[in-house]
Structure 1
Amino acid sequence: MQPPSLLLLLLLLCVSVVITRGLLCETFPEPCANGGTCLSLSLGQGTCQCAPGFLGETCQFPDPCQNAQLCQNGGSCQALLPAPLGPPSSPSPLAPNFSCTCLPGFTGERCQAQIEDPCPPSFCSKRGHCHIQASGRPQCSCMPGWTGEQCQLRDFCSANPCVNGGVCLATYPQIQCRCPPGFEGHACERDVNECFQDPGPCPKGTSCHNTLGSFQCLCPVGREGPRCELRAGPCPPRGCSNGGTCQLMPGKDSTFHLCLCPPGFIGPDCEVNPDNCVNHQCQNGGTCQDGLDTYTCLCPETWTGWDCSKDVDECEAQGPPRCRNGGTCQNSAGSFHCVCVSGWGGTSCEENLDDCIAATCAPGSTCIDRVGSFSCLCPPGRTGLLCHLEDMCLSQPCHGDAQCSTNPLTGSTLCLCQPGYSGPTCHQDLDECLMAQQGPSPCEHGGSCLNTPGSFNCLCPPGYTGSRCEADHNECLSQPCHPGSTCLDLLATFHCLCPPGLEGQLCEVETNECASDPCLNHAGCHDLLNGFQCICLPGFAGTRCEEDIDECSSSPCANGGQCQDQPGAFHCKCLPGFEGPRCQTEVDECLSDPCPVGASCLDLPGVFFCLCPSGFTELAEYLIPFGLGQSSLAGV
């Protein structure tokens, strides 16, 4: 790869240095946002070719017309770029707007409304003539100086107002000329004298010569380049100042080196930080603070914004209200003022004005200042707002305990009657019982009304009490129920809640629990207070004698007898040779004389033996089975 020619490098350097307000494609990496492509124009001026869906000088805005639903009914969308509000180095903070151009027959901000007449009087914005085409669609023939489908746009650029190569931009309702480097003004009509800039474009030790739209630096020996920025010789060991990058530039007769400066620094060695506050736009007393390739406006407390042009609304600021005591805050440019309510004054309505200064209290009275007003303290015998009237209440025109007051405007008396009296002077007794015939009775629950002077009495029916018979009489206060029971107060009566074992209206009757035969198995019942006791027959147990006792559990049968349990009893099945209810009696088998004559009978449990007399050699054993009643003889 061949090294770049000196002429090309000088051209790039000239662009990066001279065009301070333009777009520099080669110097700054990716100056176009959102995938835009930077295209270099003449004199190093650059422009951004934006990717679909983005627009703006650096493609920084999303195109609002990408939303196909913005303009309805076939309307076409046109993006409107905002005018820049910030310094030259900062992008516009506003988002682009859009405008819809509607098809014939539709109108509205988004072409959402249909119109019946395709050529209404306002279709061509009163700046052209509307006629119907063969297709049935209306078409506007605009007057000179106007354009657009409905002649709604002023064609400011048709007269080519921008000179010196300026590009006319229709930023409705006005135009903007995009001037090429070296020219300025509303129509790019003024040549910029770069040599008068501070600092100038040419370094110290050189001469600056202004040209139309540009300038020329006259370099001394050993310096070359549009700004004499090329120095003879290799890069110095220390490099360039302020982070600049040194680059070798081969020339015709010798080698030069060039310092590529970072943003915010210029000069052959990047040693100069230009004062960006020279042409600052700080307004309303804002102080410019220089920075690297930019500046900051330090605004007074009543202004804000990047250039201190936005008024601070002190009335909406956080903290205590600016205006006190009900005053209304009204904002103004760079300040505010308070509109105070009556009786208050001062910058913040903090002063309570003395209303007694202009008061007209009658002589002898005392003026008392209040908030936004005053009052007159009258001496005895005087009344009224200004104590200018005679007090007619001194003659005591009102009856009894009625309260007398005076009209503060006319001085006439007014008697405020006590309950039960009426009339101008409260002398008339009010018959509350007679009034009950025309409305609800003052006595409730059927009570009888008896009128009295200034009042009335109520004769209450049984069960009610109170001055109007409004309260239910609590019959339980006399404790009518039997001790241990609970009294429940009801409307004009009561009810006794009896505990178990008591009954009756007053719970005075003891309940006979034996009346329901609660005991089982023929047991006897003994009535108790709030209960009963069952007297069980032998063989039964339990509260109600409901349990059959197992008499066999105690083994009542003797001599091996087998016990059989029965309801309330038991039965013993005896072994042979025993008898009795419990098999406790042994059977005497010898009572039946089972032995032969002459032999003796020997009774034993369950058996007997015959003892033979002399002459007999054998002892015969006779077994008498239980229940046979006789014995069997076995071998004599």
Structure 2
Amino acid sequence: KFEVSNETNLTLEVSQDDVLVDDTAVVNLAPSNFSFNDMLKNGEIVLGSSGFLRYSREWEAGYNGCLREVRLGGELMPFYKDSTFQNNTAVNKFEVQNIMNIVSNCVGKDSCAGHSCLNKGNCVDLWNDYKCDCPAGFEGSMCEDNPDNCAIHPCMNGGVCVDGLGTYTCTCPKSFSGDICQNEVNLCSVNNASDLCANNSTCVDLGNDFTCNCTDQEYTGWYCNVPVRQNCNEIRCQNEGTCSNTSITLGAETNVTSFNCSCRLGYEGQLCEKEIDYCSINGLVCANNGQCINQPNTQNYSCNCSESLDFTGANCTEKINNCIGAVCNNGTCLDGVRNFSCLCNDGYTNITCDTVTDICQNRSMCQHGFCNNGFCNCADSGWEGSGCQRDFNECNATEPVCFHDGNCTNLEGWFNCSCSLGYEGHNCSTPNCSNICVLGTCQTNETDWSCKCEDYVQDQLCDNPGPCYGVCEKNKTVTCIQSTQFNNYSCICKTGWGNINCTDDIDECKESIAECHNGTCINTNGSYTCNCWSGYTGQYCNVTINECDSNPCQNGGTCKDEIANFTCICGITGYQGHNCSENINECIVNTTICNSGHCIDLDGNYKCNCSNQNLGFNCEFENPCYNNTMCSNGGVCQYNYTHSAYEHHCQCAGGFEGVNCEKQSQSPSSGPDLGVIIGPIVGGVVLIILIIVIVAFIMTARSKRATRGAYSPSQQETSGSRVEMGSVLKKPPEERLI
């Protein structure tokens, strides 16, 4: 989809895998899923929305707009079937196969509906868009802006520009004229200035004034009309000039009595008769019909803006908004010329729309101010008198009305303040230095202002930059040391920056400044980074990574840290592998581990089920009591584990003794009846044994619960030669045989 404006010529080209619109690549076509051939279906080219099920590409979803013509390879693609053309003899041409819903002279929606251009601008409907044709003096998408036509400073030669609607006017100094004060005026040709030069003197244009060049040495003065042969008793210096007698030479005549006038400031001429025109010498004028008042006594001028159609300021260029500070209690303020008026709401009247009492109703006794119970209240009206009919001179008030050394000018019913530097407002009470701090920021409080200078700038108006100002790269410098006496400076650069103004990046990697202990140095602007080798970390790659911190070894394996790696020591845990996570099948690793017994692999361990012929954890010992062949004469064979081997002993039957019960016991030759003696003894012993057996049985049962699974040779000795290996643990690890 391409968004195009009205009357746009669009050129589309497919080059390899790119779609180019007006020679600019806008779509990359991956060969695997799209190509220009996809746009051609059996020799057909589809424009707009196809509406056919076999076309499902996104670019076939539809087109909203008007097509003037479409050409492919320079050949026109018609919007009508070939049969409707007359004399169509073109050899290379496209033919329409199907036409659906083509509308001639298509028109877009009314884009101006719901949009209003401001300031009487005219809305122009475009295709799905609109624009505003603005009247003179306004601009912007909605004609909302009134640009300052004086912003380009069009007035030349000191002319003052006055902004208007779509135009401006230039108020020129008297020595220039023209729309932009471009024409110089010869003041000797204006107002018969040459006729004022007496005694054959010549008029000389001074630019802002004229003077007379006295060709006759007998005369002097601004207009060459004062004889030089006079002394101070005969002539008087004007405007408080001081006269002194002197002698001059006229031609061949010497010591001619004459005079000399020393003029006070603000006056000139041989007789101090000429006021210096401060309204002209600086090329400054009072705009908007303001009257320039020459003030030779203060060597300055002022503008009387009373005739300037409600303008104020030093040169009568600031429009007075008389509604500022105005009070219309029950109405709307309307700005006027030199005044304001209140458009009162229904039921209110008077200058500020206050309710008027009946005694003042329909009476015009108060020329200004307002009527209050039959009396005129002139407060804040600028007038005084019983009928508020007399102008009140605010400039003569006991308390000054113009603050901060502002100059007061009385106006009819009002006053004007010419404010000193840094103050504004009707009474010059508002500090504002926003336009006077040259290289600094204006700071104000309720009464005063000051300029906070930028670094290395000084003086009250921040208009004196030092040698350091603007030379050091700000974000790359710690500070700058300057000498105003010698007009030099030195930039103290931040780490990583160099050159005289701290503009150049220092390549720490090349300068061997970088500290990359176990890594590669990469230079960056003002610094560097370390790309650590595997196994190291930290800002300077000086910290070894302990891979064992993550406890990678399982099943009791011991981790050994290495550089960028680790090793798990699995030992006799019964596991193997990099992380000791793989169970060792001891029965496969060592097929004879259980000797003649049957090996059963466990998780991390194994056990041996021995036959009656063998004993031990790995069935490594022969059962000495197997088949009970060791004990004779009915003796019972028993075994115990001593000295890393199983040994037997025989419990002989009555009448036999010996290691293997191989000996018959010797009978006593004579004595008392042994039955009588032994009977009670045996009975007592049997009773004691019975009690011991019961106690032993109870303790053995408890011991079995506590020692179930433990390897106990003494248990095997008392329980017979059959050993259940399922209830026996392995020997201590150091005794395992693998």
TM-score by length of 2: 0.21
TM-score by length of 1: 0.24
Rg bigger for which structure?
A: 1
